[in-house]
């Protein structure tokens, strides 16, 4: 049945005029079908070009039986893939498989408009600057016609627009059934639709958020299912660690102070002492942030909390929360919003105490600072046992897939992190002819990472390559500092458009990159994965260095210390495998279709000078290799 569906004369080929039957796609689809039938876990690495999306969607849809109703949950690692699945891939497969069930999309609450918070924000709009008022008018006009409340529908509103947190709700500030706008709540409607649907497309964060909600016993965000499929599954271990841990941020405190002040100004004008106490909380949290004495960064809260100055700030914040609790207690029952604030303050007080009990073993205690805010976090070092408990609660099939799950052909790193050692593992190679379509360059004469003046040297050496490729290049960096230096330097020496991550939303940058047809995009983090640019508009991918995470990154540091205590090599067991998987993601941006051609340049000589370099090289597709940038220039000049 599966093989005939994917054959050159099958149901899929009749709806896709340029469909090409692929053996690897059929093999994966058959493995997924077997897993659904036998309810056993399956781990699949399907390299770029395999067609893994259709390979898991088709058997899931074909196996569906409305009478039995084993609901299907598809979880992705990004909103972009979530939307692509729902708007593009699923409609085609639903038609091709004659799927009889209902399908819906469910996002996290921060993606949906909160009418109550919008109305409140409009009351305060006279205090906003002109740019925010323009955004507010845009949102208000859209809110009058939207059916879903999904903010992604608003044209020209940046993903990181300042107004978004003010018009959406969080777990902390949502009033629930006490909200005056509850009957019109877009989140409630979306979750109700998801509970009734037969197939729900979600993301990994929402999956773990649902587990957290169910654990409290106060509800659920999505239905129980018979089939769980995780695309971009390489992201799961770190996301699971965050959700199985706990966090408290200065944003939560300042938002709480703002809510209490709003109650004072609109409902309880006599409660001036309460407003002063809320303002004291805001100022104390601001002082707490300054006590970290850093512009931004992360570190061990276990170590930092032992400093005398930080202990004083901890005591001060505890005192301020205690006083605010006393003040609010006298006014409970006079305002629904204030009652909710009291509940949050109580939760924050208990959590703050837990975050300062830093001697518990098996956890990483860490802090994260941005320019204005901080967060304190406690994260379990291993989520394997906890994740397996959740899996075993459900009589279901579990499928985990990504283009990057293995390290040198082995799945141990991924399966151990999630407790999936007994799973069936399947590795499927890309159908692309990398020997003819690509050239892989590790340039000579490039200084090792960390060498002073490295950015200038990279600009000097690589500008001729980018010119030869007529732009059409991604330069993927491992740090924002390098990214900004390179963008500034290339803008001085190139006549092509030079786009920089952060100057616009991710999708806007990608659209501009494609429309220019000759641009250089300098980026980090979010552009290493989940980006699909097909055709010769992207002909060159340059990576500044091997993407080792900083050993001072708190969770990684704690995992390395744990490995060392167990007598293992922390570099080999923890840091290397993670770097290989990230590296493979970046490399995967280059070739996205059968006709694509391109050059991959990695500006890190450690790939050939260090013993561990072979681990990276042997985890990549078989590409012709050279040390000469002249060869890269020749390859690029001959592409067209």
C-alpha 49/C-alpha 591 separation (Å) is 9
Q: Which helix (H) or strand (E) holds 247?
A: strand 246-249
Over residues 574-602, the pLDDT tens digits come to: 899 999 999 999 999 999 888 899 999 99
Q: Running DSSP on this structure, what letter comes out for residue 125?
A: G
**CATH number of the domain located at residue range(s) 2-102+197-243+383-428 in this protein:** 3.40.50.300
Domain 434-637, what fold? Rossmann fold (3.40.50)
pLDDT at 69: 66
Domain 246-380, what fold? Fumarase C; Chain B, domain 1 (1.10.275)
Domain with CATH 1.10.275 in the chain: 246-380
**216 pLDDT higher than 60:** no
Six-digit token pair at 315? 């005591």
**61 pLDDT higher than 90:** yes
pLDDT at 323: 95
Over residues 449-482, the pLDDT tens digits come to: 989 999 999 999 999 999 999 999 999 999 999 9
pLDDT at 507: 78
Q: Are 208 and 239 a contacting pair, CB within 8 Å?
A: yes
Assign 67 a pLDDT band (cuts: 50, 70, 90): low
% of residues, the chain, pLDDT over 70: 97
Assign 604 a pLDDT band (cuts: 50, 70, 90): very high
pLDDT at 379: 86
Least Cα distance to 241 among 550, 574, 567 occurs for: 574
> β-pairing, 374-380 with 363-369?
antiparallel
Q: Are 132 and 162 a contacting pair, CB within 8 Å?
A: yes
CA atoms within 13 A on the CB side of 372: 6
Q: Helix 250-266 and helix 272-290: axis angle, to 10°?
A: 160
DSSP letters spanning 473-488: EEEE-SSHHHHHHHHH
If you search the block for the tokens 């000469």, which residue do you land on? 628
CA 596 to chain centroid:
27
CA atoms within 13 A on the CB side of 92: 16
CA atoms within 13 A on the CB side of 614: 1
Over residues 342-396, the pLDDT tens digits come to: 999 999 999 999 999 988 777 888 899 988 899 999 988 888 988 998 888 888 9
Work out the average pLDDT over 215-238: 82
Q: Are 552 and 294 a contacting pair, CB within 8 Å?
A: no
pLDDT at 214: 66
Over residues 5-40, the pLDDT tens digits come to: 888 888 888 888 778 878 999 999 999 999 999 888
CA atoms within 13 A on the CB side of 448: 5
pTM of the model: 0.82
3-class SS of residue 541: strand
Question: Could you give the dihedral angle defined by the CA atoms of residues 77, 79, 81 and 87, in that order, rounded to the nearest 10 degrees?
Answer: 150
C-alpha 416/C-alpha 51 separation (Å) is 26
DSSP letters spanning 381-410: S--HHHHHHHHHHS--EEEEEES---BTTB
Beta bridge partners of 397: 227
Domain with CATH 3.40.50.300 in the chain: 2-102+197-243+383-428, 434-637
476 Cβ neighbours under 8 A, 6+ residues apart: 523, 524, 527, 528, 541, 542, 543, 544, 586, 589
Over residues 521-553, the pLDDT tens digits come to: 999 988 888 788 888 999 999 999 999 988 777
% of residues, the chain, pLDDT over 90: 52
Least Cα distance to 443 among 608, 318, 329 occurs for: 608
């Amino acid at each position: 049945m599966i093989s005939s569906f994917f054959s050159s004369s099958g149901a899929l080929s009749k709806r896709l005029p340029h469909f090409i039957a692929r053996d690897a796609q059929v093999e994966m689809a058959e493995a997924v079908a077997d897993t659904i039938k036998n309810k056993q876990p399956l781990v699949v690495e399907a390299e770029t070009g395999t067609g893994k999306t259709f390979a898991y969607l088709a058997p899931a849809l074909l196996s569906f039986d409305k009478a039995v109703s084993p609901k299907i949950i598809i979880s992705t690692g990004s909103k972009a893939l979530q939307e692509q699945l729902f708007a593009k891939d699923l409609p085609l497969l639903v038609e091709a498989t004659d799927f009889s069930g209902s399908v819906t999309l469910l996002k996290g609450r921060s993606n949906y408009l909160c009418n109550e918070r919008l109305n409140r924000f409009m009351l305060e709009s006279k205090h906003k600057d002109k740019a925010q008022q323009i955004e507010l008018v845009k949102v208000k006009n859209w809110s009058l016609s939207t059916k879903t409340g999904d903010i992604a529908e608003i044209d020209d509103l940046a993903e990181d627009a300042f107004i978004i947190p003010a018009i959406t709700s969080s777990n902390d500030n949502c009033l629930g059934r006490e909200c005056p706008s509850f009957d019109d709540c877009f989140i409630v409607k979306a979750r109700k639709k998801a509970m009734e649907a037969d197939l729900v497309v979600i993301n990994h964060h929402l999956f773990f958020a649902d587990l957290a909600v169910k654990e409290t016993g106060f509800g659920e965000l999505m239905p129980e299912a018979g089939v769980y499929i995780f695309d971009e599954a390489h992201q799961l271990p770190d996301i699971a660690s965050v959700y199985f841990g706990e966090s408290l941020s200065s944003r939560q405190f300042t938002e709480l102070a703002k809510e209490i002040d709003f109650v004072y100004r609109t409902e309880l004008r006599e409660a001036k002492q309460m407003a002063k106490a809320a303002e004291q909380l805001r100022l104390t949290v601001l002082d707490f942030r300054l006590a970290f004495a850093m512009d931004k960064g992360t570190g061990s809260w276990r170590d930092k909390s032992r400093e005398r100055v930080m202990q004083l700030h901890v005591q001060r914040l505890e005192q301020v929360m205690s006083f605010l609790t006393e003040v609010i207690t006298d006014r409970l029952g006079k305002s629904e919003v204030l009652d909710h604030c009291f509940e949050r303050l109580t939760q924050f007080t208990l959590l703050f105490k837990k975050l300062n009990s830093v001697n518990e073993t098996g956890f990483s205690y860490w802090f994260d600072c941005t320019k204005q805010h901080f967060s304190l976090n406690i994260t379990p070092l291993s989520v394997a046992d906890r994740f397996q408990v959740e899996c075993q609660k459900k009589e279901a099939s579990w499928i985990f897939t990504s283009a990057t799950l293995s390290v040198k052909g082995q799945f141990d790193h991924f399966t151990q992190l999630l407790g999936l050692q007994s799973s069936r593992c399947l590795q499927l190679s890309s159908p692309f002819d990398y020997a003819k379509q690509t050239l892989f360059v590790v340039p000579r004469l490039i200084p090792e990472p960390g060498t002073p003046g490295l950015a200038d040297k990279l600009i000097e050496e690589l500008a001729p390559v980018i010119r030869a490729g007529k732009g059409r290049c991604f330069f993927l960096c491992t740090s924002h500092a390098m990214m900004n230096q390179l963008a500034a330097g290339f803008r001085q020496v190139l006549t092509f458009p030079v786009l920089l991550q952060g100057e616009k939303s991710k999708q806007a940058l990608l659209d501009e990159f494609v429309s220019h047809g000759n641009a250089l995009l300098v980026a980090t983090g979010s552009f290493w994965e989940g980006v699909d640019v097909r055709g010769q508009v992207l002909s060159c991918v340059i990576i500044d260095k091997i993407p080792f995470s900083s050993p001072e990154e708190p969770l990684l540091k704690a995992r390395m210390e744990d490995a060392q205590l167990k007598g293992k090599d922390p570099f080999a067991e923890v840091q290397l495998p993670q770097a290989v998987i990230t590296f493979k993601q970046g490399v995967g941006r280059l070739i996205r279709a059968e006709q694509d051609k391109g050059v991959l340049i990695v500006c890190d000589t450690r790939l050939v000078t260090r013993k561990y370099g072979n681990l990276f090289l042997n985890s990549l597709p078989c590409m012709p290799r050279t040390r000469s940038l002249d060869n890269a220039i020749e390859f690029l000049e001959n592409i067209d």
